[in-house]
Amino acid sequence: MRLATLLMYDGNPRKAADEVVALERAGLDSVWVAEAYGFDAPTLMGYLAATTETVKIGSGILNIYSRTPGALLQTAAGLDNVSQGRAILGLGVSGPQVVEGFHGVPYRKPMARTAEVVDIIRRGLRREPLSADGEFHLPLTKEDGAVTGLGKPLKLLTRPERDSIPIWIAALGPKNVAQTAEIADGWIPHLFHPEKAHLVWGDALAAGNARRQEGLGPLQVMAGGMVAIGEGPDTKSLLDFARPIFALYVGGMGAKGKNFYNDVARSYGYEKEAEEIQDLYLSGKKREAEALVPTEWLEAANLVGPASYVRERIAAFREAGVTDLNITPVSEDPAATVAQVKEWVS
């Protein structure tokens, strides 16, 4: 099992990126940079590439709507070059709130667009002309309003560091997860509950793996949570730091009936809590919503407690098929925590 972390920052990502150097020395295998509607991920990934030497650098995630397939190809190739072959391209459909509310583009046909984007990026990295037979990337003619009408497919001008870069997809819905298992190198599920994951995604993963594209290795899976190692109630109380994140996604990342994370909570068996958390969050009662996040879920999705318990949680994630344990150290010495967990996962 490899060890990953999400770049966490409060206002100043440069400071957080500089701290990754110590985590790299402690044994961290990959660092992932989120984007959502904050700073763009590629800029920070390029900064990480310049300040690190061995850690893999992933986008976690870039949505497939705010950039054209060609732009995503350029970004992947550029990041892989400046990192000397350490880039991982994490993609996802995000959600209507971010895609339409922040980027101002229609959120339509997410699965079809995902498949086409992945195909174009892979062809482009092999320096094949960009696909011109898709639904979202077409050669433009004068009838379409093109200036020249010479919209012929072009191949990548520069030679990429590698002709294949790992593509990981963040997916939650059963159909999206099945597609991920079919076409992607890796899967990024959010708010992952190891003991309940097979109930939600087992059939989808099996169906997708049965159609897995030739040439792809086994599907990699990244999931995890906060890590705090220690005895007593003070350590366990650190789980409360995760409540705002869970409440934000379950309650606030989408409208009624359009929140994928709320759907996951319901699939885990937390129907009542999911309903109440969303109602409270959307009405501005965030603290009350946070208090209703099931403690059972927080304990399962994070690794907080005595060393023996944390090792049990690592085993649970491994048993659930996780290949890359994504941890957020909560300690006075994050590098020491990474080194300790690295020893346990190796």
Query: What domains are there in the chain, each with its CATH number?
Result: 2-226+303-345 (3.20.20.30)
Q: Are 108 and 82 in contact (CB under 8 A)?
A: no
Q: What is the pLDDT of residue 85?
A: 98
Q: What is the pLDDT of residue 140?
A: 60
Residue 158: count other Cβ atoms within 10 Å of its Cβ: 10
Helix (H, G, I), strand (E, B) or coil at 122: helix
Q: What is the pLDDT of residue 12?
A: 86
Q: What is the pLDDT of residue 81?
A: 98
Q: Which of 67, 59, 173, 64 is nearest to 108 (CA)?
A: 64
Q: What is the pLDDT of residue 131?
A: 65
Residue 324: count other Cβ atoms within 10 Å of its Cβ: 25
Rounded CA gap, 230 and 2, in Å?
23
Question: From first to last of its 346 residues, what are the pLDDT tens digits of the chain?
Answer: 999 999 988 778 888 999 999 999 999 999 999 998 999 999 999 999 999 999 999 999 999 999 999 999 999 999 999 999 999 999 999 988 899 999 999 999 999 999 999 999 999 999 998 866 677 766 666 676 666 655 678 899 999 999 999 999 999 999 999 999 999 999 999 999 999 999 999 999 999 999 999 999 999 999 999 999 999 899 999 999 999 999 999 999 988 998 999 999 999 999 999 999 999 999 999 999 999 999 999 999 999 999 999 999 999 999 999 999 999 999 999 999 999 999 999 9
Q: What is the pLDDT of residue 45?
A: 97
Q: What is the pLDDT of residue 142?
A: 65
Q: What is the pLDDT of residue 301?
A: 98
Cα 139 from chain centre? 31
Q: What is the pLDDT of residue 148?
A: 61
Rounded CA gap, 240 and 119, in Å?
41
Q: What is the pLDDT of residue 277?
A: 98
Q: Take residue 122 and report the two structure tokens written for it.
A: 């892979």
